[in-house]
Structure 1
Amino acid sequence: MASSRAGSAPSKRGIFAASFIGTSIEWYDYYIFGTAAALVFGSLFFPEFSSTAGTLAAFTTFAVGFIARPLGAAVIGHFGDRIGRKSMLVLTLLLTGGTTFAIGVLPTYAAIGVAAPVLLMLLRLLQGFGVGGEWGGAVLIATEHASRRRRAIYGSFAQFGVPVGVLTSNLAFLAVSGMSDEAFLEFGWRIPFLLSIVLVAVGIIVRSRLRDAPEFEQAKKDKALSKVPIVELFKRQPRNLVLASLTSIAPPAVGYTVIVYMLTYGTTVIGFDRTTLLTLILTSTVLWIATIAFSAVLADRFGAKRIYAIGAFTAVVWPLPMFALVNTGDTGLALLAFVVAAIVQGIMAGAQGALLSEIFSVQVRYSGISIAYQLGGMVGGAVTPIAATALYGAYGSSTPIALYVTGLCLLSFAAVFGLRAVGSADGAPAPEGARATVREAGPVD
């Protein structure tokens, strides 16, 4: 029986494709909203506001997606722990892809008045709800098929999707940024949103060929799954949930400072050209991807917790130098600022999938890692562009912004040391049946 399961298990290439391609598409959908919020949404959907107020309103709409993400993590995570990982991954693609396409055809304030920003916010909520369940499922469909000594490498499959989503979303906007301002505002910004429907179709085809990992299938067969996973999660592993959420703040705090806030700050305050900034961020993303791969290898060798802590420490020390380099107005120094920021994120990302997967038991794992990741994203990602805009408006300096990001990353650096793996003294006991299943089924190596 075990041999049969192992023989029909998906290949490493299939797992990589389902985790990486799907997540790349999801984050492409998500990041084009952030780029559009920084570049055009203020003038198109909030034209009666002042320049600063319009930017704040656009970033608030961007932040609304983060508010929905923990709810999506809880709901989709519940069914992911009850029904299976594969079906939820198909659902998340449909949700995010459909809403992204709808944003691309949404009338602006000039056409339908106040209904435009209201609809934009509702679509962003639905998009965030879908993204809330994406990352956890993509990580688990990979890590639960992996042997223990390859868990970080498999967990990094989904992590590649984040910078690739940044890369492709920036490429999409870079392709239309050469238009005149009038053409860009009239229809150019819509093109990246409309293209997403093709990418989603590809992702659904890839993910439909998946199957859940033996560990989860055995727990389902043994009727060992939790009836209400989130209740069991809060009851059995509240410490790991809180600490994992705090640990997850640093990557989005650094990432969204660069890929969202810097687009506004760099163009309106420092005077960079829009196309130049997009190109610099795009270039730095290549290093982000490479660092994820290198970090994952190190995490499997030296431990995910140790490597993540190193990454979190670099996140603490980099914001001040990063802003100082950008403030020079020099293109080369700004590129250096973004490249190092990309490396900082990559170190944490390469270890994060394995780190969070090993601290929750299989019955609550989808819920646990999804909620933790999305709560961290809400604090680190949603609030940061808004706080940065408000801080600069109040003080006229980037120093308070840098110190704010440093403080968020310091929380993550402190929290990671308190995490405990399943089966350790402070972690929930690992199910014996699930551990046996993994050994018998022969996870992909």
Structure 2
Amino acid sequence: MSPPEEVRRVAVSSFIGNAIEFYDFILFSSAAALIFGRLFFSDLAPALGTIVSFATLATGYVARPLGGIVLGYVGDRVGRKTVLLATMITMGLASGLIGLLPTYAHIGAAAPILLVVLRLVQGFAVGGEWGGAALLAAEHAPPERRGWITALGQAGLPAGGLLSTIAMALVALLPQEQLFSWGWRIPFLISFALLGVGLYVRLHVAESPLFEELAAEQRQRRRPLRHIARRPWPLVRGAITAVPPISISSLFGSFAVSYAVGIGFSRATVLWALGVAWVGAIVMTPVYGRLSDRVGRRPVYLGGAIGLAVAVFPLFWMINSGSAVLLFIAMFLAFTLISVAMSAALAAVLAEMFPTESRYTAVSVAYQAAGLGAGFVPLIAGSLLAAGGGGRNIGLVCAFTIAVAVVAAVIVLFGRESRGVDLRDAGAAGGTRPETPVAQGIAAER
């Protein structure tokens, strides 16, 4: 077991890594909607330029599973810390370099090509960041506090979203000429500074003690992918479990934002509502993580999944009301009370599903496969809205959301509770021996 000061360093490193990851990814999303069409696809009609810009955004999601496979494999072979340093450097440099790119007006077609390349690099790096940060925290944490420690890292996701929203909102105050000439670059250049802070913290984090035990015993799996392929059900279960918390972020962080603006809310009002919700999520994510240590992962996750299925219609009803107060309440409930109940428990749940020898690969692939599917949620929701007649006919979107939540809830309900399991044992979620007297008491409760 790692000493308390090392656990704190790992939790801070995980928080910062996730914050940088989400800052860069959300920032690109905002810029794709507001900036890139005019700067990098200016030879196209404005509407078509925006569509192509969103297609560029999607390339990052496509690259994420590949990054999860490759970087997860390397993490299981050479160590967690080495890969996490590489992902942070790659992600920070790619995002910062976007802020230095010449536009279409300067170098023509080479500009959008470079933008796509950097977006692919972003996605590849993100593919190995989340899983590594989550399991490094899990493998350092004492079993009775694993949910809380991993959830502290997960709080970095809404923190990064909040930072990117603030950064883009501030530069959007500039006059149009200044915004499109140099102002849009500032949020991306900030990534260089965030990279420096993140590297300073991560360089002082120790390697996972469980991985070091494997290395000392020379028990690293030479083919973690083969091991996963022989037992695919845990990977499928992990991916399905990860879909709702990622999907709800896409649904309310992207589709609902566009939907609310489309029915009459100002963009500033919607962004403020989203920002307030993210502040609440930063606070509540560790709270739910701690709760999962007390009552179990399943009850906390199921509370969020069932809450999503029950609340999605009322949440969109509040948005449809046209009331700014109800809009704020809807966003707050979606992110602060419902989404984080699932995302706070997710890192511990996935880490506890897989053996140490293949954990980095399995966790990364499961999460990024879910992320790839969730990346299409805004497109699916938009298509369902159009199929339902457009306007405020949100019924099909809500039905789709309920189906996603119910499927994941069933998977988790019939899985085994993993609170307090020994991460040293292969197939940790499959009923393993407890690690400590505290964990023995937890196991006795089960």
Please confirm whether the aligned pair reaches a TM-score higher than 0.5, indicating the same fold.
yes
Alpha-carbon distance, 1:181 to partner: 3.1
Relative to structure 1, the CA distance from residue 64 to residue 329 in structure 2 (aligned partners, 3 Å threshold; closer, same or farther) is same
Distance in 1 between residues matched to 2:176 and 2:256, nearest whole Å: 20
Deviations 1:386-434 (A, max 9, x none): 233444455323513333333333332232234447889xx95459xx9
Of stretches 395-404 and 128-137 in structure 1, the one that deviates more from structure 2 is 395-404
Is residue 361 from structure 1 mapped to residue 355 from structure 2 by the alignment?
yes
Identity score, percent? 36
- Matched positions, count: 428
User: 2:406 — aligned with what?
Assistant: 410
Relative to structure 1, the CA distance from residue 416 to residue 430 in structure 2 (aligned partners, 3 Å threshold; closer, same or farther) is closer
Alpha-carbon distance, 1:54 to partner: 4.1
8 A contact 1:312–1:348 mirrored in 2: yes
SS of the residue 1:329 aligns to: coil
Alpha-carbon distance, 1:22 to partner: 2.0
User: 2:6 — aligned with what?
Assistant: 11
User: 1:243 — aligned with what?
Assistant: 237
Distance in 2 between residues matched to 1:192 and 1:273, nearest whole Å: 22
Where in structure 2 are the equivalents of 1:88-167 lying within 5 Å? 88-167=83-162
Distance in 2 between residues matched to 1:18 and 1:6, nearest whole Å: 15
Where in structure 2 are the equivalents of 1:11-410 lying within 5 Å? 11-47=6-42, 53-235=48-230, 237-267=231-261, 269-342=262-335, 343-380=337-374, 382-393=375-386, 395-398=389-392, 399=394, 400-410=396-406
Relative to structure 1, the CA distance from residue 355 to residue 430 in structure 2 (aligned partners, 3 Å threshold; closer, same or farther) is closer
Unpaired runs of at least 5, structure 1: none
Of stretches 60-69 and 413-422 in structure 1, the one that deviates more from structure 2 is 413-422
Distance in 2 between residues matched to 1:238 and 1:229, nearest whole Å: 12
8 A contact 2:57–2:119 mirrored in 1: yes
Alpha-carbon distance, 1:170 to partner: 0.7
Relative to structure 1, the CA distance from residue 14 to residue 300 in structure 2 (aligned partners, 3 Å threshold; closer, same or farther) is same
Distance in 2 between residues matched to 1:429 and 1:421, nearest whole Å: 13
Deviations 1:157-199 (A, max 9, x none): 2201110011111111122121223332333222111111011
Relative to structure 1, the CA distance from residue 430 to residue 348 in structure 2 (aligned partners, 3 Å threshold; closer, same or farther) is closer
Distance in 2 between residues matched to 1:54 and 1:256, nearest whole Å: 22
Relative to structure 1, the CA distance from residue 215 to residue 38 in structure 2 (aligned partners, 3 Å threshold; closer, same or farther) is same
Of stretches 189-198 and 272-281 in structure 1, the one that deviates more from structure 2 is 272-281
Of stretches 290-299 and 313-322 in structure 1, the one that deviates more from structure 2 is 313-322
User: 2:442 — aligned with what?
Assistant: none
1:192 is matched by which residue type in structure 2? P
Distance in 2 between residues matched to 1:254 and 1:406, nearest whole Å: 11
SS of the residue 1:318 aligns to: helix
Of stretches 392-401 and 23-32 in structure 1, the one that deviates more from structure 2 is 392-401
2:362 is matched by which residue type in structure 1? G
SS of the residue 2:135 aligns to: helix
Alpha-carbon distance, 1:310 to partner: 1.5
Distance in 1 between residues matched to 2:377 and 2:111, nearest whole Å: 25
Q: Could you say which structure has the greater relative contact order, defined with CA pairs below 8 angstroms and 6 or more residues apart?
A: 1
1:241 is matched by which residue type in structure 2? L
Alpha-carbon distance, 1:64 to partner: 1.4
Alpha-carbon distance, 1:356 to partner: 0.8
8 A contact 1:64–1:125 mirrored in 2: yes
User: 2:444 — aligned with what?
Assistant: none
1:326 is matched by which residue type in structure 2? I
Deviations 1:187-222 (A, max 9, x none): 322211111101101101110111122222111110
Relative to structure 1, the CA distance from residue 338 to residue 83 in structure 2 (aligned partners, 3 Å threshold; closer, same or farther) is same
Distance in 2 between residues matched to 1:171 and 1:281, nearest whole Å: 11
2:252 is matched by which residue type in structure 1? V
User: 2:443 — aligned with what?
Assistant: none
TM-score by length of 2: 0.88
Relative to structure 1, the CA distance from residue 316 to residue 194 in structure 2 (aligned partners, 3 Å threshold; closer, same or farther) is same
